[in-house]
Amino acid sequence: METLKTTVAIIGAGPSGLLLSQLLHQAGIDSLIVERTSRARVLERIRAGVLERGTVEGMEEAGCAARLHAECIPHDGVILSFDGEQFEIPVREITGYHVIVYGQTEITKDLIEACEARGQAIYWECPDAVLADLETAVPKVQFTTPEGETHRIEAEIVAGCDGFHGVCRQSIPEARRRAFERTYPFGWLGVLVDEPPVAHNVIYANHEDGFALASMRSETRSRYYVQSAPGETVEDWSSDRFWEAFTRRLGALGQQVRTGEPIEMSIAPLRSFVSEPMRFGRLFLAGDSAHIVPPTGAKGLNLAFADVRRLSRAIITWKDGGQDAALEAYSVEALARVWKIERFSWYLTSMMHQFPEHSGFEKRMQRAEFDYIRSSEAGQKTIAENYVGLQF
């Protein structure tokens, strides 16, 4: 068994783990990354692409924002629709900021290339990582490479960036963590299609048949979603069925949709989830390993990057001064923001979807909320501030 020594052992080579490694490198702090899947698998994941200003700042801090700035598409507003009636919230006019469209796949590609260009060690396809001695000054990570070689990392800090199904959260004893969860009675069926988007800004639509969302990846590629029933699979949805449902739920805007054969089609369940605390000894959780938000509002990647930026600052402060105060504050400070983002995602999900258990009263409340936001500067400001990203 080979023993490797580093300051920070990062579990997970998704965008969170890669960003953390890059930010630490900028401060002269070394790290090693262990990833359970392959490089190709990480790069082929199709995820969100609406970025808050804080996420863009994180890429800038990491020195990885050149292509992002060259290719991104700014969005100045967001469109809400209810039973075919639409209005736009002028996000940039209200807040002075916009969000941008730049795919998560592209962010991951930029970060991998930056890490590999400077020789960052990334151990791919190591699904058997085991964490130990997390409450000591020398936590350890043991894993086996695809070649059958066993390695043990001796670190000073372990960063859990390995997602909801990863090993890091599970390495915290059950008696020392508490989970909060809301599972929603529907999923999102998403398609990626090489057709121009129906609108420049994102559309969130509530229709009696269910939710729909229209977004873009580029001027010629669109990402569209419809609410699907529990237990449904991609095989239950033909291309024709999707386009009929999607265009109907957008109302008049649906007549402008350019349909085509999807190049990708998948169903994602929706849940809200938070695990507390986000620290156990020298193990620190960030991103989906600690929390999940429903995709309504596009907060998943953005929230993960906020965690990573906060954690990198805490580690840098600790390393510079040798004091644990910054590390000790990480979980409390991160969770304070996490719950605010969970609230916003839950709020939009609750307003814009059809819930099978809702009576006529709840449906009227959804409509009343929509009408209030449409007529209220304060209501629109609340959504705009959350949409571009809360500061920290």
Domain residues of the chain, as ranges? Answer: 2-73+102-180+271-349, 185-269+351-388
Q: Where are the alpha helices (DSSP H) in the chain?
A: 15-26, 39-44, 53-61, 66-71, 91-95, 104-117, 167-170, 239-249, 300-321, 325-352, 360-375, 377-388
Annotated catalytic residue within 25, 207, 291, 299: 299
Q: How far apart are CA 389 and CA 381, in angstroms?
A: 12
Closest CA to 74 of 100, 55, 97, 52: 100
Q: How far apart are CA 157 and CA 148, in angstroms?
A: 25
Annotated catalytic residue within 15, 139, 197, 295: 295
Could you read off the pLDDT tens digit of each residue along the chain, which spans 392 residues? 899 999 999 999 999 999 999 999 999 999 999 999 999 999 987 666 899 999 999 999 999 999 999 999 999 999 999 999 999 999 999 999 999 999 899 999 999 999 999 999 999 999 999 999 999 999 999 999 999 999 999 999 999 999 999 999 999 999 999 999 999 999 999 999 999 999 999 999 999 999 999 999 889 999 999 999 999 999 999 999 999 999 999 999 999 999 999 999 999 999 999 999 999 999 999 999 999 999 999 999 999 999 999 999 999 999 998 778 999 999 999 999 999 999 999 999 999 999 999 999 999 999 999 999 999 999 999 999 999 999 87
Q: CA end-to-end span of the chain, whole Å? A: 42
Annotated catalytic residue within 102, 204, 224, 225: 204
Give yes or no: 123 in active site. Answer: no
Give yes or no: 225 in active site. Answer: no
Amino acid at 392: F
Q: Which fold has domain 185-269+351-388?
A: D-Amino Acid Oxidase; Chain A, domain 2 (3.30.9)
Yes or no: say if 72 and 55 are a contact pair by the CB < 8 Å rule.
no
Same fold, 2-73+102-180+271-349 and 185-269+351-388: no
Q: What is the pTM of this model?
A: 0.95
Count of beta carbons in the 10 Å neighbourhood of residue 41: 12
Q: Report the SS3 class of residue 248.
A: helix
Amino acid at 298: A
Q: Are strands 222-228 and 157-160 parallel, antiparallel or unpaired?
A: unpaired
Annotated catalytic residue within 75, 98, 151, 291: 75
Q: Report the SS3 class of residue 317.
A: helix
Give yes or no: 299 in active site. Answer: yes
Count of beta carbons in the 10 Å neighbourhood of residue 218: 16
Yes or no: say if 24 and 315 are a contact pair by the CB < 8 Å rule.
yes
Q: Which fold has domain 2-73+102-180+271-349?
A: FAD/NAD(P)-binding domain (3.50.50)
Q: How far apart are CA 31 and CA 315, in angstroms?
A: 12
